[in-house]
Structure 1
Amino acid sequence: MINLHSEGAYLLNGNDLIVSGKECDEQVKAKLGQKYLTKEEAKQNTIAYGILQNHNKSGNPEKLQLKFDALTSHDITFVGIVQTARASGLEKFPVPYVLTNCHNSLCAVGGTINSDDHLFGLSAAKKYGGIFVPPHVAVIHQYMREMMAGCGKMILGSDSHTRYGAFGTMAIGEGGGELVKQLLSNTYDVDYPEVVGVYLTGSPKPGIGPQDVALSIIGAVFKNGFVKNRVMEFVGPGVKNLSVEYRSGIDVMTTETTCLSSIWKTDDKVKEYLEVHQRGDAYAELNPGEVAYYDKMITVDLSEIQSMIALPFHPSNVYTINELNANMMDILDKVEKEGQKLFEGTNLKFTLKDKVKNGRLFSEQGSIAGCAGGNYENICDAASILTGKSVGTGEFALSVYPSSMPVYQSLMDNGVASKLMTAGTVLKTAFCGPCFGGGDTPANNSLSIRHTTRNFPNREGSKPGDGQIASVALMDARSIAASAVNKGFITAATELEGINFDIPKYYFNKTIYDNRVFQSYNEGDGNSELRFGPNIADWPKMEPLTDNMLLQVASVLLDPVTTTDELIPSGDTSSYRSNPHKLASFTLSRKDPAYVDRSKEIQAAESRRLEGATTEEGNSALKAAYEKLTAKFSGFDKKNTLIGSMIYANKPGDGSAREQAASCQKVLGGFANIAKEYATKRYRSNLINWGILPLITNEDPEYKVGDFIYLTDVVNSIRERKPEIKGYIVGDEIKEISLSVGQLTDNEIEILLSGCLINFNRNKMSN
């Protein structure tokens, strides 16, 4: 079904695959003769290479400095981005910047908080020249697919699922700081990434959808890091057998592999899609060159893909539904034991085996929504399965969220909406809530099956701190519909017989956007005022780094991977995303509730130091640390030693691009993370942009919460790119620790030393 080739592969004429091995070069030479290219030469014939170099402003093909064609954000991130850019000297949006309102669309949460932010976004579009998509009109990625993606383009978004590869667009999801750089006409700096080919053959069986293919790939590559921070390039004869929406449904889930970006070859189907959306001029045929070389290769036989399910609590925790049904109790027991580790130290009990009835796993809720599930073809196929059937009147309920109003209108006009409603399905407006915990939160101890992007702990909206826990299993819309036919019992779509998968022709009505979406790119009115609400606050002042730093360990997270949702929860907490101090109060609230108070205590000591007051007043741990350091180091001076907090995590940063996972730590006085590795580039970039040291160690932590880490010669070590930063554990005794910050660009060095991206930009302006 899926095979991984870590040694790379040649692709000849876009079709013939020769996997690297002892005889690889000889085979290629024999086929090509004088047209033979070395691996290094052939690497330049990937689609990714051409697009990246066309956007590279550095002049060095290995050290990329990228400028994007367009930017996009949603209403969890755009207020902070505009506020950061504004504090850095923003005058206008230099490229098209789309501000969508699809995450905090429900304005009942937090009183007027969400609506205030929506109107702030509209006022920003008016002032700086942007594009504003009001609530319920379209989810962020569907609007970008329909109206902005184009062949050969690059788009940067402040949402991790910014992926438009199926439309010939290389898109990257990053933290808000990277969008701020683009808004200030700076660049996105990254080493040229390796390119991993994804070679598709065959055609999917009836009932197999894009989520089945995506979950199969994620299951094969996530845990081994096969595509981490690399570009996935989809090629091969199987591509032509997939519709553009099908490709897009696979593509959007590449985020869960931890790849940097993705790109697909394009063809007449892409051209037709763009023409339907009145943007035929955005089409260009993209293919790898006659001889292309990929650093790694994934081969996928689409005809062998089966109906899949990703059980809690990660999209990589995949099984075929047939495998689950055949080994039900063993698999669920394993998932329960792994899941319960996430709730150690609490009274919560995560269970799945209690949901098995008559040998079948039962779910109380189904949802088809967002950028992954809510697309036209997914919903049409779900309707084909549900036509003439009923979801039942019991505990199970099914909701469907079309991804845009044009999609919704077409579903209504051609009768698909009527079929779903008649079956008992509830249709709702374009909204990302089921994906991040802002809508359709299941009842306590319930299992929800969803065609969305993630199933991390609590991402469905439950609150462990209040004794509530629920869980999500990811499935394709077709198998969710099949399960709905069976009143909530997990069923593979391929189990059903006699289904006529009928997808009526889609008609796109652009007038819906013309009449509601505000467009003012290149027409901003700099004299207009931003509209603020009481919950929209400026960033607090942030200090630059100093040579000597004393950082108290505020949390130690020993899970194999720590997600950004665990660092700063999504869901209703996101209503406070425009108020740095209020949002920061939720940091690690579902993982280590005492973290905030610990951080605030040491932050108060730093405030006293900056004021010239006695820092250790009322803080016995800090006083003891000072005494040990004074005894150990003759030159130790507490007045010139910055005080802050830090966290340790084995592998933090999997998941969302939300920069709040880092900014909230900084607002609370955090100055470092220590990790064995960072799960994603975007989380590490977020740390740097907020002036937090992304420290790396190979050692298991020998320190505990409450101990201190003393760092010396920090500024000099970073500026001179020294391989190590001198560090000492100040616990029961003082012990040296080996730490490094890894590779940093020139700008990253200056951002760190300045204390954050805002300070860096202000310093540039003053100079």
Structure 2
Amino acid sequence: MIELFKHGAYLLHGSELVEDTPDAAAVLQQKLGRIPSREEAAQQTMAYGILKAHNTSGNMEKLKVKFDCLTSHDITFVGIIQTARASGLQEFPVPYVLTNCHNSLCAVGGTINEDDHMFGLSCAKKYGGIYVPPHQAVIHQFAREMLAGCGKMVLGSDSHTRYGALGTMAVGEGGPELVKQLLRKTYDINMPGVVAVHLTGKPQKGVGPQDVALAIIGAVFANGYVNNKVMEFVGDGVSNLSADFRIGVDVMTTETTCLSSIWTTDGEIRDFYEIHGRSGEYKELKPGDVAYYDGVVKVDLSEIKPMIAMPFHPSNVYTIEEMNANLEDILADVEKKAQVSLSNNNIEFKLRDKIRDGRLYVDQGIIAGCAGGGFENICDAADILKGKSIGADEFTLSVYPASQPVYMELVKNGRVAQLMETGAIVKTAFCGPCFGAGDVPANRGLSIRHSTRNFPNREGSKVTNGQIASVALMDARSIAATAANKGYLTAATDVDVDFTKPKYFFDKNIYANRVYNGVGKADPAQEIKLGPGIKDWPEMVALTEDILLRVVSVIHDPVTTTDELIPSGETSSYRSNPEGLAEFTLSRKDPGYVGRAKQVRAAETIRRTNACPMQEDQEIGNAFRKVKESYPDLKARETGIGTAIYAVKPGDGSAREQAASCQKVLGGWANIAKGYATKRYRSNLINWGMLPFLLDDEELPFENLDFLFIPGIRKAVKEKAETITGYVVKDKLVPFTLRLGELTDDEREIILDGCLINYYRNH
């Protein structure tokens, strides 16, 4: 089904692979009459060409990228624009789309949500942006319909910013990276590796894009095969997939932890742009005659079966066939794995009680968002459900078309009525089911969703309140087949259906009548509307020469998600209020974190007033006095006091900058990790002035609540020290070694200045 090459490979003429083994030279000589160098052939990938066109550094090893356009939604754009305003923003230098698809229900926190929307509209008018009102489109569908273009690059403040199927290299990053673009700065990265995803064959009837995506994620996530690389989709199998199918696979590449994606383009993609009235955005993209890739994911589409990703990660995949054949054993294993995520909570997680008469019964089906809410997914689901009923028991089905144009066409062609007749509910464009807002199942419920993630609490339950529910990811077709069987898990390949594949017609008037387009029409006189819940970022100080850190949380899970660092769901309403949101930091993983962090922050606040913090906190005072025995010249008023967390591999999942900024607001100065799950989380730490320490020791040299003293840290950052000696403050100072990893000169300055806002004020 899926094969991972152990070496790099040459792709000849867009179809034939030659793995880079010792005998590759002889094969290339025979087929080409020459032996191209890896370096020469690596420049023939689509990714290399697009990155070169957007690089401003003149050095393809050290990229400084400027994007063609930006996009954000309503739980990120307020913080981004507030940061940019504090840093000197005058106008949006490139098209910047502000969509309102996360807090669009305006259901939590009084006027907070709509206040954020009005802030966005006023900023679009003042700075010259595009404002998409609530319920019009989810962020990525609008970008596909109105923003993407072959050969373009898009930067978005949402991790699922992926438009590779449309010939657009898109990157999901934390808000500060968008701030840099708004201030006419660059996105600075090393040239990423490029991995070919070589598609052959044609999917079986009933197999959908989520099935292909989950199979790929299952093959590459745990081993980091494509981590921070570009996935380049090539091969004859691409032509056997519709545009919607490709989009559905592409959006899920985020769950592999890759940096971005790009696909070959053809008549299917040309037709997509013509349908959307933007035929000028199409051009053919394909690799050169001889292209070199750092690895290959070889996928035979004809062998992919309907898949299910069980809680609590998209990589926890099984075929539905094997799930149904081995229910007891697989569910027992899933329950065991779940304890890694739920270990800090005194709650029992059970799935085997979902077995009824030897079959798995689920409580809820959801087809939604940027992954599931596409036209083709919903039409195929409606065909499977035609003339059926979802029943009058616990099982429910909700369908969210990804945009109003998609919804309108589904109304016109009768699919909405067809779905409603079955008992399904059809709702407006909304991202809630992806992040834990809306359609929250009952306690102990199991929801099957064609959405993007199934991390703990992504369905909205609160483990700390004694609630537990979970999500399994599936394709819309198998969700519809399960719904047709009234909640009993069923693969779409097991039902008899005639897929009608109706043609899609895009109505541009929906957006023309409702979306505000201020590109090129910035109005400096426009007053920004600031609701009472929108707060400025608190003052953040520069890095001191020496720092005393208290470890206030230690997480031993193999991977820590951004959802665990700062939960999603109703907390999204507070993202315009840094102090308010910070109260939820680590709340579902380590509820005592906030109190411990605040205690340390109080001492640092005292230090900033030039008073002696050691007199106010006995534990900090004792630690400082112990350090002074070895560093007698150390001055309390000049030594930074902060907190640090340790996690084995933090940052999987969302691009949300708040996973880092909330720690900073609470006095965090460092993360310590074996490694970082994603580039975007590490970038968020850096942009908020936090030290992204790496620890190579096999055994952890400190425990939770230990104090760590790191002398000369400012000098070490400035002088690019490869290793840094820190000390665990015990009866004596116990040394251990830290690294910061590679940092650009600008990143070092940001850390030294204390955060991105300070950096721009100082420069």
TM-score, structure 2 length as denominator? Answer: 0.99
Q: Is the 8 A contact 2:371 2:452 kept in 1?
A: yes
Q: Is the 8 A contact 1:6 1:295 kept in 2?
A: no
Which amino acid letter does the alignment assign opposite residue 707 of structure 1? D
Which amino acid letter does the alignment assign opposite residue 507 of structure 1? F
CA distance in 2, matches of 1:389, 1:217: 32
Which amino acid letter does the alignment assign opposite residue 702 of structure 2? Y
What residue number does 1:478 align with? 477
CA distance in 1, matches of 2:651, 2:681: 5
CA distance in 1, matches of 2:616, 2:50: 58
Between 1:25-34 and 1:227-236, the stretch displaced more is 25-34
Structure 1 residue 732: Cα displacement: 4.8
What residue number does 1:554 align with? 552
Q: Is the 8 A contact 2:199 2:235 kept in 1?
A: yes
What residue number does 2:639 align with? 641
What residue number does 2:147 align with? 148
Q: Is the 8 A contact 2:308 2:473 kept in 1?
A: yes
Tell me if 1:379 matches 2:343: no
What residue number does 2:429 align with? 430
Report 1:187-586 matches (<5 A).
Answer: 187-497=186-496, 499-586=497-584
Which amino acid letter does the alignment assign opposite residue 759 of structure 1? N
Q: Is the 8 A contact 1:553 1:704 kept in 2?
A: yes
The residue matched to 2:514 in structure 1 has which SS? coil
The residue matched to 1:238 in structure 2 has which SS? helix
The residue matched to 2:180 in structure 1 has which SS? helix
Structure 1 residue 701: Cα displacement: 2.0
What residue number does 1:76 align with? 75
What residue number does 1:8 align with? 8
Q: Is the 8 A contact 1:168 1:264 kept in 2?
A: yes
Which amino acid letter does the alignment assign opposite residue 697 of structure 1? L
Cα RMSD (Å) of the superposition? 0.8
What residue number does 1:29 align with? 29
Q: Is the 8 A contact 2:153 2:168 kept in 1?
A: yes
Structure 1 residue 168: Cα displacement: 0.2
CA distance in 2, matches of 1:519, 1:131: 5
CA distance in 2, matches of 1:126, 1:42: 46
What residue number does 1:168 align with? 167
Q: Is the 8 A contact 1:602 1:643 kept in 2?
A: yes
CA distance in 2, matches of 1:713, 1:149: 47
Structure 1 residue 618: Cα displacement: 4.2
Structure 1 residue 633: Cα displacement: 2.3
The residue matched to 1:337 in structure 2 has which SS? helix
Between 1:127-136 and 1:106-115, the stretch displaced more is 106-115
Which amino acid letter does the alignment assign opposite residue 591 of structure 1? K
The residue matched to 1:710 in structure 2 has which SS? strand
Report 1:21-170 matches (<5 A).
Answer: 21-34=21-34, 36-170=35-169
Deviations 1:511-544 (A, max 9, x none): 0000000000110101111001000000000000
Q: Is the 8 A contact 1:274 1:282 kept in 2?
A: yes
Deviations 1:183-233 (A, max 9, x none): 000000000001000000000000000000000000000000000000000
Which amino acid letter does the alignment assign opposite residue 624 of structure 2? Y
Structure 1 residue 576: Cα displacement: 0.4
CA distance in 1, matches of 2:406, 2:109: 29
Between 1:705-714 and 1:157-166, the stretch displaced more is 705-714
Structure 1 residue 345: Cα displacement: 3.8
Structure 1 residue 26: Cα displacement: 1.1
Q: Is the 8 A contact 2:612 2:636 kept in 1?
A: no
Q: Is the 8 A contact 1:652 1:679 kept in 2?
A: yes
Which amino acid letter does the alignment assign opposite residue 738 of structure 2? L
Structure 1 residue 135: Cα displacement: 0.4
CA distance in 2, matches of 1:731, 1:255: 42
Q: Pick from 637, 654, 657 the counterpart of residue 656 of structure 1.
A: 654
Q: Pick from 678, 681, 699 the counterpart of residue 683 of structure 1.
A: 681
CA distance in 2, matches of 1:105, 1:737: 48
Which amino acid letter does the alignment assign opposite residue 173 of structure 1? G
Q: Is the 8 A contact 2:102 2:430 kept in 1?
A: yes
Deviations 1:349-374 (A, max 9, x none): 11101111111111101000000000
CA distance in 1, matches of 2:15, 2:603: 64
The residue matched to 2:548 in structure 1 has which SS? strand
Which amino acid letter does the alignment assign opposite residue 2 of structure 2? I
Between 1:319-328 and 1:212-221, the stretch displaced more is 319-328
Structure 1 residue 734: Cα displacement: 2.1
CA distance in 1, matches of 2:557, 2:616: 33
Structure 1 residue 340: Cα displacement: 2.1
Which amino acid letter does the alignment assign opposite residue 440 of structure 1? D
CA distance in 1, matches of 2:93, 2:337: 47
Deviations 1:442-463 (A, max 9, x none): 1111000000000000111111
Structure 1 residue 347: Cα displacement: 2.2
Residues 488 and 732 of structure 1: is their aligned pair in 2 closer, same or farther, counting only changes over 3 Å? Answer: farther
CA distance in 2, matches of 1:610, 1:96: 40
Which amino acid letter does the alignment assign opposite residue 368 of structure 2? A
Q: Is the 8 A contact 1:127 1:525 kept in 2?
A: yes
CA distance in 1, matches of 2:746, 2:647: 26
CA distance in 1, matches of 2:412, 2:238: 30
Q: Is the 8 A contact 2:533 2:576 kept in 1?
A: yes
CA distance in 1, matches of 2:323, 2:733: 51
The residue matched to 2:420 in structure 1 has which SS? helix
Q: Is the 8 A contact 2:233 2:263 kept in 1?
A: yes
Structure 1 residue 502: Cα displacement: 1.2
Between 1:128-137 and 1:722-731, the stretch displaced more is 722-731
Deviations 1:719-767 (A, max 9, x none): 1111112211113542111101000001101111010000001111xxx
Gapped regions of structure 1 (runs ≥ 5): none
Deviations 1:583-624 (A, max 9, x none): 000000000111011111110001111112231334221121
Tell me if 1:20 matches 2:20: yes
Which amino acid letter does the alignment assign opposite residue 472 of structure 1? V
CA distance in 1, matches of 2:158, 2:312: 20
Q: Is the 8 A contact 1:165 1:171 kept in 2?
A: yes
Tell me if 1:666 matches 2:664: yes
CA distance in 1, matches of 2:522, 2:645: 42
What residue number does 1:747 align with? 746
Which amino acid letter does the alignment assign opposite residue 436 of structure 2? G
Q: Is the 8 A contact 2:611 2:637 kept in 1?
A: no
Tell me if 1:607 matches 2:605: yes
CA distance in 2, matches of 1:86, 1:10: 47
Which amino acid letter does the alignment assign opposite residue 691 of structure 1? G
Q: Is the 8 A contact 2:161 2:170 kept in 1?
A: yes
Which amino acid letter does the alignment assign opposite residue 510 of structure 1? K
Which amino acid letter does the alignment assign opposite residue 217 of structure 1? I
CA distance in 2, matches of 1:705, 1:636: 25
Deviations 1:22-42 (A, max 9, x none): 2112111111115x4211100
Q: Percent identity?
A: 62
Between 1:158-167 and 1:320-329, the stretch displaced more is 320-329
Deviations 1:113-171 (A, max 9, x none): 10000000000000000000000000000000000101000000000000000000000
CA distance in 2, matches of 1:732, 1:667: 31
The residue matched to 2:397 in structure 1 has which SS? strand
TM-score, structure 1 length as denominator? Answer: 0.99
Q: Is the 8 A contact 1:621 1:706 kept in 2?
A: no
